[in-house]
Structure formats: C-alpha cells, structure tokens
C-alpha cells in the first residue's frame, strides 16, 4: 500500500507533541478511553490530532482470532443502534506481518475472550467481517469479495451487523451477520493489531463518525434527525464538519463571494458565515414555509425560494434579494419547486406538477408565462443551467431508473448521461463548467421516484464530457443533503448535509 499524505500528518514533531498532550486527557476525540486488550500485549497507544481530525492508533498482539484477542482499542460505550464510519489505512507499505489489522470493533466487554464483531482490513488486503458469537468460542469470518478496502463502515440494527467497505472512489461491498446478541450496551471503537505480540503497528483513521441512524417507525417530514454541515474537498475526498445542529438543516448553497453558505431549516432561510461559523436568519417577510429547493442567481444577488402555500396547491416559487426582503411570487400555483437560474438571471427553471405529471418548466424571473420543457411520462426534476447557458441538466425516471439527463436550453435533444446503476438525483455543475456532482441512492433502499431522508447515499462526480462517475463521499443523508447548487466558487469543494442523532 502506498504511504498516502494523510498517514504522514502525525510525523512532525509539533503535531506529535500535541498528540501526546491530548492522549493524557481522559477522552480521546469522540472516544471515552483506550486499552490494550489481552494478557500479554506490548503497550500500544491511541492519539487524537485535533488539527487534522485524525486518530493515530498503535497496537500489538498475537491476533484477533480463535477464542481470544490481543490488540489496542480506542472505545466508547453505546446502546441501541449505531452507524460507524471511517477512512483508514495501516502505516508502512509492508509491515512485519501480512495479517496486521485495522478497523472497527464492537465488543461485549474489554476482556480478551469477549464476544465481539469487527470490520477489518488486513495488511495483505484481506477485508472481512469477523465475529465471536459468545465469550471464549472460536472466531468466525465472512470474507468480502473486495480487498484492500480503506473505507470501512459497520452498522448495528437490533441484532444485525452490516459491514460496508470500499476502496475510496468506488461503491460499497456489503457483508452481514444476523442474530448476533452482544447485549444492548456495548463497547464501540477503532482498533489496530499487529499479529505479533512483540511488534507494534500503526493505523491512521480520518473522517471518523459515530452516529445514530433513524429509528424504526420514524415519521418522515414530522420527525427529524440532527444535521452536520460539511465541506468536502472534491479532489482528495477530505471532509470537514463545520457546524452541527440538533435541527434539520438542508441544502446548502455556496455564495459566489465565498463568504457564506445559505440553507433552510424549519421553514426559514439562514446565512451561515464561513468566517465566524455562525448562522443568521435571512428575512423573507411572510414567506416562512421554505423548503430545500432554493437557488442563488449566478451573480449572487438574488435568491430563488420554494415555499409551501396550501391554498395555492403546495410549493410556490418566489424570488428575493439575497440580503432578504419581501419575496416576489413567480409561479401562480403549486406544486412548483425552483431549481435553477439562467446565467443572465432572466429565466428560472423549476419542477412543476401540472395535469398530474411532474415536468420541467421555464418562466421569466420577473414572472410570466410558463414554458414546458419536458413531456415524458414519469418524474422530471432538479433542472439546472450550465454556466454558459447552453444546456440544462436534470434527473428523470422515465426509463424506470432515476438518471441524470441533459437537454438544450430550449428543451430539445434530451439524452441520459448516467447509466442507471443507482438512482441519481440533482446534478450540480461546477462554476468552471468542467464537472457534474450529484447524489446517488441505492436501488434496494428507495424507489425511482423518491429521495427520502436518512438513507445510505453517495455523492458522485463525473466530467461534464462524460465518463465513469467516482464516489467522492459516503454519506448518511438523502433528502436535503444537496438538493440545489452547492459548489464553491473555485470549483474545488462542495457543501453538503449529513444526518445523525448524535454529533460527530
């Protein structure tokens, strides 16, 4: 394995000193403690680097196998269901033993013979879901078809444990163990084992997230999980959580001056100052039922709103200055969901339900007659102009699968640009016109015409000229994650929302 840049961050003296200081504290990042598991283990360590939000864990031990385990563990206690995610790699190309290990583990206790389950990548690339169903019995294993995974996710729902693993950039590969009873309260954490009692190996973990997913029976649009506002580096996949809230925050737009993000929450619009990292309400008069279909004009001066008005049939499109004011009504009836401005700010494209069909329409930005651009049976949604104004990208399930489509600005020459491997929604074109980012739902989780909250989704990226999309973020989210344009002005980053009952 190549020694990547994120694994070398802890090697500088300054950062190492800060690690030692942090390790002396009772907590280690989001975790409560650490321990060497097993009777004859060369002491290991768990360090948290706040500057880079990384965990550097070193551990020894004969193995995590047979009837007992030896390794170093950084952990916290949890009850109920949870979702664990990290991007992790072992330090060093080869290591002493090819079966050195790095991953997530859930244990009944800290005893070396405890019942447990772990999602693990070995030094030789073997990726597997290993588990000991009862204290002191031999470990069992489900090997993944994927090797050399560096994205590791482990989820618990009741007594079912699901491992999702990937090489960064590719979709998940899944293995599952059902009816494994470790008790309601368990130890949850990151681990490193060297497969050698006298050798210490090191792993580096980034983008570590311990979250609680939606409970069974949650009522959509009445009950909500908390939100994390995140910034994604498109080239590296690095993520930074810049704000968390117990409320539902949705659909961040990035202002062209690079000073703010704009999102909706509980019907109101907010300006999130990137310098102070604090939100403030954007006044929108009596229009206070705003949803997550809101878009900035290309020059950043105007904000398109979509707000529910029951008497008019649902969501109505409005425009308002980005600084706030009295919104101007644009569409006469609903449902109408605004998605895009033309580059010259003279036209708006929106999704409207007319004659029991959802299609894409264009309307003058000052109001006027609607022009229907799509007529295919099925749901057409998410229209957005390219920066040169020549094309409109949108998503459509007219083939039975939700895919990304493109048409000329007048509605002609409609063609699919994704293949239908997933249900793809909401294409967003980078300001430099070179890339398309969109959100992909799994076919086994959602219907082609739905984009619900609280699902396992991918943010994917493809060149505007075409090609195979690449996964650039693995997200627990969905509705509200990135419904409307969310690129930074320099086309290097994306803003998005992930969801959890617990903060990162």
Q: Tell whether 217 is covered by a domain.
A: no
Q: Tell whether 220 is covered by a domain.
A: no
pLDDT for res 26: 63
Choose among 435, 450, 437, 438: nearest CA to 397: 450
Question: Mean pLDDT, the chain, as a whole number?
Answer: 94
CA–CA gap between residue 314 and residue 291 (Å, rounded)? 11
Q: Are residues 198 and 283 in the same domain?
A: no
- Sign (positive or negative) of CA dihedral 195, 86, 72, 44: positive
**Residues forming beta bridges with residue 254, ordered by sequence position:** 261
Q: Are residues 423 and 283 in the same domain?
A: yes
Q: What's the pLDDT tens digit per position in 78-130? A: 999 999 999 999 998 677 889 999 999 999 999 999 999 999 999 999 999 99
CA–CA gap between residue 189 and residue 77 (Å, rounded)? 9
Q: Are residues 377 and 257 in the same domain?
A: yes
In SS3 terms, 111-160 reads as CCCCCEEEEEEECCCEEEEEEECCCCCCCEEEEEEEECCCEEEEEEECCE
**Predicted confidence (pLDDT) at residue 457 exceeds the cutoff of 90:** yes
- Sign (positive or negative) of CA dihedral 102, 106, 110, 113: negative
The structure tokens listed for 227 are: 């939100």
- Express as a percent the part of the chain with pLDDT over 90: 92
Q: Tell whether 107 is covered by a domain.
A: yes
The single residue listed with the structure tokens 């078809």 is 145
Q: Are residues 410 and 262 in the same domain?
A: yes
Across the range 223-232, mean pLDDT stands at: 97
Q: Are residues 189 and 335 in the same domain?
A: no
Instruction: Write out the H or E segment, with its range, that includes residue 16.
Output: helix 13-23
**Residues forming beta bridges with residue 59, ordered by sequence position:** 201
Q: Are residues 349 and 273 in the same domain?
A: yes
The structure tokens listed for 53 are: 């939000």
Is 113 within 8 Å of 67 (Cβ atoms)? yes
CA–CA gap between residue 67 and residue 132 (Å, rounded)? 8
Domain final residue, candidates 211, 243, 266: 211
pLDDT for res 328: 98
DSSP letter for 31, please: B
The single residue listed with the structure tokens 């999980």 is 225
Is 308 within 8 Å of 338 (Cβ atoms)? no
- For residue 14, name the pLDDT band (cuts at 50, 70, 90): very low
**Predicted confidence (pLDDT) at residue 327 exceeds the cutoff of 60:** yes
- Per the structure, the count of domains in the chain is 2
Question: 217 CB contacts (<8 Å, ≥6 apart)?
Answer: none
Q: pTM of whole model > 0.85? A: yes
Side by side, the strands of the sheet bearing 328-329 are: 295-296, 302-309, 314-321, 328-329
Q: How far does CA 341 lie from the centroid of its chain?
A: 26
Question: 24 CB contacts (<8 Å, ≥6 apart)?
Answer: none
CA–CA gap between residue 343 and residue 324 (Å, rounded)? 21
Q: Are residues 280 and 157 in the same domain?
A: no
Residue 177 — φ and ψ, nearest 5°? -125, 125
Q: Are residues 265 and 126 in the same domain?
A: no
CA–CA gap between residue 10 and residue 53 (Å, rounded)? 11
SS3 state of residue 205? strand
SS3 state of residue 28? strand
Residue 408 — φ and ψ, nearest 5°? -65, 160
Domain final residue, candidates 211, 226, 244: 211
Q: Tell whether 114 is covered by a domain.
A: yes
pLDDT for res 504: 45
**Predicted confidence (pLDDT) at residue 16 exceeds the cutoff of 70:** no
195: CATH: 2.60.120.200
Is 324 within 8 Å of 312 (Cβ atoms)? no
Q: What share of the chain is helix, strand, coil (3-state, %, to 5)?
A: 5, 50, 45
CA atoms within 13 A of residue 428's CA, in its CB half-sphere: 32
Q: Tell whether 336 is covered by a domain.
A: yes
Q: Tell whether 216 is covered by a domain.
A: no
Q: Are residues 304 and 433 in the same domain?
A: yes
Neighbour tally for 70: CB within 10 Å: 24
pLDDT for res 18: 38
Is 64 within 8 Å of 121 (Cβ atoms)? no
**Residues forming beta bridges with residue 142, ordered by sequence position:** 129
Q: Tell whether 391 is covered by a domain.
A: yes
Q: What's the pLDDT tens digit per position in 416-446? A: 999 999 999 999 999 999 999 999 999 999 9
Q: Are residues 173 and 317 in the same domain?
A: no
Q: Tell whether 332 is covered by a domain.
A: yes
CA–CA gap between residue 126 and residue 87 (Å, rounded)? 16
CA–CA gap between residue 339 and residue 323 (Å, rounded)? 19
344: CATH: 2.120.10.30
CA–CA gap between residue 44 and residue 56 (Å, rounded)? 11
Q: What's the pLDDT tens digit per position in 269-313? A: 999 999 999 999 999 999 999 999 999 999 999 999 999 999 999
Q: Are residues 278 and 372 in the same domain?
A: yes
Segments forming the whole domain that contains residue 287: 235-500
- Express as a percent the part of the chain with pLDDT over 70: 94
CA–CA gap between residue 292 and residue 305 (Å, rounded)? 8
CA–CA gap between residue 345 and residue 387 (Å, rounded)? 11
Question: 145 CB contacts (<8 Å, ≥6 apart)?
Answer: 173
**Predicted confidence (pLDDT) at residue 9 exceeds the cutoff of 60:** no
**E strands within 212-354?**
226-233, 239-245, 250-254, 260-265, 268-273, 278-282, 295-296, 302-309, 314-321, 328-329, 336-341, 347-354
CA–CA gap between residue 339 and residue 89 (Å, rounded)? 40
Q: Are residues 171 and 245 in the same domain?
A: no
The structure tokens listed for 498 are: 């992930």
CA atoms within 13 A of residue 182's CA, in its CB half-sphere: 32
Is 131 within 8 Å of 118 (Cβ atoms)? yes
CA–CA gap between residue 358 and residue 383 (Å, rounded)? 12
């Amino acid at each position: 394995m190549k020694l990547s840049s994120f694994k070398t961050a802890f090697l500088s003296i300054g950062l190492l000193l800060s690690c030692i200081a942090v390790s002396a504290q009772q907590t280690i990042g989001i975790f409560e403690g650490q321990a060497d598991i097993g009777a004859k283990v060369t002491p290991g360590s768990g360090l948290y680097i706040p500057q880079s939000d990384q965990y550097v864990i070193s551990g020894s031990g004969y193995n995590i196998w047979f009837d007992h385990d030896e390794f170093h563990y950084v952990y916290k206690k949890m009850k109920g269901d949870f979702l664990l995610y990290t991007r992790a790699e072992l330090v060093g190309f080869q290591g002493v033993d090819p079966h050195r290990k790095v991953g997530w583990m859930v244990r009944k206790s800290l005893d070396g013979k405890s019942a447990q389950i772990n999602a693990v990548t070995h030094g030789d690339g073997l990726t597997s879901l290993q588990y000991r169903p009862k204290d002191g019995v031999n470990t069992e294993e489900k090997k993944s078809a994927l090797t050399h995974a560096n994205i590791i996710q482990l989820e618990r729902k009741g007594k079912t444990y699901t491992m999702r693993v990937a090489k960064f950039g590719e979709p998940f590969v899944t293995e599952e163990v059902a009816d494994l009873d470790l008790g309601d309260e368990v130890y949850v954490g990151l681990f490193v084992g060297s497969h050698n009692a006298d050798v210490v190996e090191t792993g580096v973990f980034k983008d570590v997230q311990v979250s609680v997913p939606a409970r069974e029976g949650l009522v959509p649009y009445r009950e909500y999980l908390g939100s994390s506002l995140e910034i994604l580096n498109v080239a590296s996949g690095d993520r930074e959580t810049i704000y968390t809230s117990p409320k539902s925050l949705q659909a961040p737009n990035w202002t062209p001056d690079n000073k703010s993000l704009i999102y909706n929450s509980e019907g109101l619009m907010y300006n999130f100052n990137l310098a102070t990292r604090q939100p403030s309400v954007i006044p929108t008069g009596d229009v206070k039922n705003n949803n997550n279909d809101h878009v900035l004009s290309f020059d950043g001066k105007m904000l398109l709103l979509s707000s529910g008005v029951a008497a008019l049939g649902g969501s109505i499109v409005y425009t308002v200055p980005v600084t706030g004011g009295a919104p101007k009504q644009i569409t006469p009836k609903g449902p109408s969901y605004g998605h895009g401005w033309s580059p010259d700010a003279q036209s708006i494209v929106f999704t409207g339900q007319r004659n029991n069909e959802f299609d894409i329409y264009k309307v003058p930005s000052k109001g006027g007659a609607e022009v229907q651009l799509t007529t295919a049976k099925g749901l057409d949604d998410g229209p957005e102009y390219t920066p040169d104004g020549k094309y409109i990208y949108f998503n459509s399930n007219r083939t039975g699968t939700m895919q990304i489509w493109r048409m000329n600005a007048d509605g002609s020459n409609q063609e699919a640009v994704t293949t239908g491997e997933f249900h793809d929604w909401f294409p967003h074109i980078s300001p430099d016109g070179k890339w398309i980012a969109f959100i992909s739902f799994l076919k086994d989780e959602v219907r082609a015409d739905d984009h619900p909250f609280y699902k396992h989704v991918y943010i994917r990226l493809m060149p505007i000229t075409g090609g195979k999309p690449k996964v650039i973020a693995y997200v627990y989210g969905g509705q509200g994650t990135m419904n409307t344009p969310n690129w930074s002005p320099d086309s290097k980053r994306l803003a998005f929302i992930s969801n959890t009952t617990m903060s990162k």
